[in-house]
Structure 1
């Protein structure tokens, strides 16, 4: 199931009331008032007398579009507004809450669809769950400095909300409190905030700018998911954890600065951030979880943490612009489909110490030419490298990939089993020219020799067997050249035995050169 569906389902179907999940359709029914000995009606208000001698408004029964809640009713101080007291009153346009009020209960103003103007009490301590949920006309809210916490879903679906002024003493914001506030464009959180709840600003599709608290410690799951206009975010170093899907589908996000104290990049944290071009993963990070950067189409550069130990399944799958990667030395595992369909990757070097490579880890990397795999790798999943076709759902061995590996290693066996080209890194390197080719010129009676380059050669030499002895013709062919052309006008029909030697690490390997000598006849 997609992140968007999960968020939408949680917010649209449920709201939290005292730990119980209640359908959002039931919010408007919270207006019911149960008569008791302490319940009193005074004018347009029904209220209860509390044990401390103050009043709690249980329900507004008037019809005014603008309501100034009194600080006293029947000479009793109004200290609280009860659950659902104004819920579902669709004619309410503005409300002023007096400074005598210190608490407002669950869903007090939920579903007041015409409510556009709210003045909160300067002594309010908490903003309770779903207090203004679905107040679709509310454009601005000032949260007084007396407030230290905002509960779950408080302003969810306030689709006209454009401006929020936060309490300077605010410490935490709960689940989904500003989710689906589609007109919210800028958020500046005070430095007093230490935590953001799950889905906090999810689906705020016009949110362009976010300034996070300098003392923020945790960012919840899907906190900014589907904020499709957000272009840049700086996560302060005070942050130690970022939840899964925190920035999932932030399709305009171009840059992100991560806290240097996070230890993991969680599942789908930056998935589908299609304009993200580069990312530096701090050295504190030890694991990158599944799909963390999947489908980041524009991602060109990744700087990995030096202490990274694991890359999860599909972590960089479908990163179509990623042309090169340098994997860190401490890496131990590469998950299934980790770099699947990274079509611009050409060369991959797996560092020594990696133990397992998951199935399809580099499948569909259509430009991949070489992959170097150390002997430390003991497990390789199916289809590690293939040419895959997403339309026909078929795959076959990657014909142009060369696997560089060690004798009898897992990679060697994988290459043989899957009929891949391979080169053994521990095979003895020849110290003499091989693959010698000869071209003849009948016009000039010349012969031209070419050969494969010898690794670490300093120069090449040519010797000819004449009159029972090997005679040196030249020892001055530079290492940069792998060819030699004889003088013109050699005797047609005459045969020569020729040896080509290389000087490697100061020594001429003449014995192997002579063993591999060739015989040529002048034309």
Structure 2
């Protein structure tokens, strides 16, 4: 899954009118006797029987399914039997948005709880699932923001996708030994979750499973676990160390850092690891996407024999001061050093070919970087907000210079893009760089108005002085949001996956 989180902050300010269409759809569904929600689930309950605050209908196993509950109910005791028939299931979205519901009692006869069954029950505090529950639907307790405790039965084998997504008050979870799989986003943004015991028969942990669990301090991977999804422990700001049980053939955790078992890939560096320096294992060749993101105490880093660095690898490593990229690395993809606010010096290898989009975004103290011959690309906003980088020599091999790649910053006063004063760019003959500078001189650069540019050509080099009004060279710090997409994004993804 590719990262999308950087785009979402801006999207919310410019949503077109057609995003309001779901409101019309919901109103139409209610008119037709349907239960509808932003999860994409639409349940027609108009023909169902009523019992107390519930509606119900027969199901395929000969029992009954609870299909809805009065949204004004403050408590709900689901009956085990209605008119001589056993209640065996709670349907999709049956209790969704019951915003007054503080407690619910589920009978032992229930074996199935549907998708989004209790989603957005915002004051529901405690839940016990009976021993007979075999299936829990995606997003079953999503956005139950007051949920503090949940008891899971030994009969359950899987915690599904987004089961406890954004259950912000959930502080601890005892996962039964029967669980073999934890789905994508299962505990995403459970911001008070501090203790999780992973069962010894667990085989897989999904993408974003514990992302943004800000109080989680340790992660003990059992020997049986052979798969950990991307970004599973990202945003765990209190995580001090990983441990991996003896006998695990897929992972290892030397010195508390998570690697593949062969040591060739560093998967995740714990954000709260207290040491200010770290030496990557000699066996390591690859740093995974996001692997050091948010490590705010890390000042010095020896990358050893690494030859591949993943996207956004060091994003928001705000204490990192200098770094040498090893020979063999050919690309710095994505915002590898985005918001490394203390970074002053970078040494690139002769093997380097490309600097990706937002590569050094907001490295406000970066003063020195030598870009070697052989580099062909500077991505979009590659050096955007690098307000201290005032003298830069570019190689003749550059064939692509992205939008606002250098010479721009965002003003702290008005949040508008402005030009960096007295930036000097030296170039030994790259047509792409000269074209970039000619656009400066012409006063128009891909839609941005630019003035006061002087181009000097001397000794085969092009030097650009960008003269602009100097306002305070301060950058608004990034938020600590490293989530892929919040709010209803998980619901949207599940809806889209069903369509496909």
- Which TM-score band (shorter chain)? 0.5 to 0.7
Contact 1:47–1:55 (8 Å) recurs in 2: yes
Task: List alignment gaps of at least 5 residues for structure 2.
Answer: 13-18, 23-33, 243-256, 412-417, 434-456, 465-500
Match of 2:299 in 1: 277
Counterpart of 2:449 in structure 1 is: none
- Paired with 1:164 and 1:130, the residues of 2 have a C-alpha distance of 16
The answer for the alignment partner of 2:91 in structure 1 is 82
Match of 1:418 in 2: 462
Give the conservation status (yes or no) of the 8 Å contact 2:348–2:370.
Answer: yes
Query: What are the residue-to-residue correspondences of 1:126-205 with 2, within 5 Å?
Result: 126-190=135-199, 192-198=202-208, 200-204=209-213
Larger radius of gyration: 1
CA contact (8 A) 2:338 2:360 kept: yes
Output the CA distance in 2 between the equivalents of 1:241 and 1:80.
44
Q: Tell me which residue corresponds to 2:221.
A: 213
1:33 to 19, 42, 45: 45
Return closer, same or farther for 1:330/1:169 CA change in 2, 3 Å cut-off: farther
Structure 2 vs 1, CA of residues 35 and 216 (structure 1 numbering), >3 Å: closer, same or farther? same
- The Cα RMSD (Å) is 5.3
Name the SS for the 2:221 alignment partner: coil
Is residue 2:420 matched to residue 1:394? yes
Alignment counterpart, residue 378 of structure 2, candidates 358, 368, 389: 358
| TM superposition shift of 1:313 | 5.2
2:314 matched residue in structure 1 = 293
Change beyond 3 A, Cα 1:83–1:301: same
**Conserved? CA contact 1:257–1:280, under 8 Å:** yes
Question: For 1:381 and 1:8, how far apart are their aligned partners in 2?
Answer: 27
What is the TM-score when the length of structure 2 is the normalising length?
0.58
The corresponding residue for 1:312 is 333
Per-residue displacement from partner, 1:91-135 (whole Å, max 9, x unpaired)? Answer: 433334344322111222223333222111223233212212232
Q: Deviations over 1:474-493 (max 9, x none)?
A: xxxxxxxxxxxxxxxxxxxx
Q: Return closer, same or farther for 1:351/1:196 CA change in 2, 3 Å cut-off.
A: same
Are positions 1:92 and 2:101 aligned together?
yes
Give the total of aligned pairs: 388
Among candidates 235, 256, 259, match of residue 258 of structure 2: 235
Structure 1 CA distance, aligned partners of 2:280 and 2:149? 31
Greater displacement, 113-122 / 303-312: 303-312
Distance across 1 between alignment mates of 2:55 and 2:364: 67
Instruction: Tell me the CA shift for residue 280 of structure 1.
Output: 5.7
Partner in structure 2 of residue 495 of structure 1: none
Partner of 1:379: 398
- Which shows bigger deviation, 294-303 or 390-399? 390-399
Segments of 5+ residues of structure 1 without an aligned counterpart are 15-21, 421-523
Change (3 A) 1:121 1:306: farther
Deviations 1:313-343 (A, max 9, x none): 5532553433444545654333466447756
User: In the aligned structure 2, how far is the partner of 1:8 from the partner of 1:230?
Assistant: 30
Judge conservation of contact 2:103–2:126 (CA < 8 Å) in 1: yes
Q: Who is 1:333 aligned against? A: 354
1:194–1:213 CA contact under 8 A, matched in 2:
no
Separation of aligned partners in 2, 1:146 and 1:8 = 42
- CA 1:189–1:7: 2 relative to 1, 3 Å: farther
Q: Is the 8 A contact 1:286 1:305 kept in 2?
A: no
CA contact (8 A) 2:120 2:142 kept: yes
- Cα deviation, residue 263, structure 1: 4.6
Give the Cα separation in 2 of the matches to 1:270 and 1:67: 46
- Mapped contact 1:218–1:240 kept (Cα < 8 A): no
Higher RCO (Cα < 8 Å, 6 or more apart): 2
Aligned equivalents of 1:203 and 1:148: distance in 2? 24
- Find the counterpart in structure 1 of residue 133 from structure 2: 124
- Between the aligned partners of 2:69 and 2:406, the Cα distance in structure 1 is 68
In the aligned structure 1, how far is the partner of 2:152 from the partner of 2:164?
A: 12
Kept in 1: contact 2:144–2:167 (CA 8 A): yes
CA contact (8 A) 1:212 1:236 kept: no
For residues 100 and 196 of structure 1, do their structure 2 counterparts lie closer, same or farther at Cα, with a shift above 3 Å needed?
A: same
Contact 1:386 1:396 in 2 (8 A): no
Q: Structure 2 residue aligned with 1:105, among 114, 129, 134?
A: 114
- Indicate conservation of the 8 Å contact 1:288/1:310, yes or no: no
Who is 2:343 aligned against? 322
Q: Give the C-alpha shift of residue 298 in structure 1.
A: 1.0
Match of 1:379, SS state, is: coil
Could you say if the C-alpha distance between residues 388 and 64 of structure 1 is closer, same or farther in structure 2, counting changes exceeding 3 Å? Answer: closer
